[in-house]
Chain A
């Protein structure tokens, strides 16, 4: 057996005896390599500070059988060193833990055809589970635009914004990947069975937890760091003051990824967390998928045209011309002498300017003098 396969088995064993995102386990693996870390932890040596007691679960651990059973469920275990390994996750090694979670995952359990190394330019779309229809619409639109450029959309398959993000990406005909807190073979939330099964066939369902494991609160926190680490930027659409999406944003910031916030009405509770992020400078304000692409793309790749009002016929006039135009009555024509007086200009100059304005179609001459033409009203 190759050493990579040995290492894979060692990592399965470590996954089984620890909790996802235990920074101490990740540290040991980074320092000593997976095989040695495995031996140290399994032999009970240097297990101080671990969040779980490895002894408790070791008895029921059979890495080879676990892998075989996972394969039967259509779940593969991707580890560092595999061609498929998303190398951007290695950034987690340098990031300090947050709420006692952190570190590079031991490996990722994946169900679905999408290869994780394709997620290099992906964008995460996350937000509140108690989202509003406004938030869901915006999230879906952003995901659609992102997906249409070939970038994958990563989210957590939760209610609200997550679901809208996945659906938007599907609508854009793009790739989308769900990172779950439970085992990749399981479905959570149960109401999203259809969505998650769809992703398992057309995208990918990813988890750090052993197949069969249930979603617990700490596992959600660990999961959030993966969503942030997998993507180049995280878009937060709606997040209340205490929200898992803010945890994801926090991770994105720690990993030097782009943190992008979509504002909502200032009176809206579900948008408060995002507003706070933007106000504190942690997030960049985005309003559309195009804005997101500009932020996460290479410099100048997706420049968004600056929004500006429609150009009006008066915009290009010189100061003199504007001065005269203002003096021309709208309804009843006035003689050029009167217009010159109102504009405060010499008669000859006013006449010349009027002729120029008439050429542009802004004024018209009548029996009694000059008046505004229809074009000037635009």
Chain B
């Protein structure tokens, strides 16, 4: 290896630009998703970690199930936690539908009636000066269920 070969002032040709081009495309998509679809800045490949308190740990979902003679909030069981984490981090229709389908599947496995699943996504915010913590509803998603298979969008 020569100094010229290792010279960091060269652009390195197209091979050196492919990885950073990927980085730029992914990062721009992440900024778009964060500003339009509620993706937490900490995730998605945009390098927004340690820039805001709005991370996955300060986001959570609440799931409500209703049917005839039934309307209750359910706890997030271990079988739902992965889908719930994805929905909290990126509260888009796709992630929320996925969680709703898992909820319906679980309720049916336990032979409990389910006609509608309502999901709320929440986040914690802190006041600028006092740091007083408050919770804010960021999204509400309703999934109506056919009597037989789950039919969320």
Q: Do the two chains bind?
A: no
Interfacial residues, chain A to chain B (CB-CB below 8 A): none
Taking Cβ atoms with an 8 Å cutoff, the residues of B that contact A are none
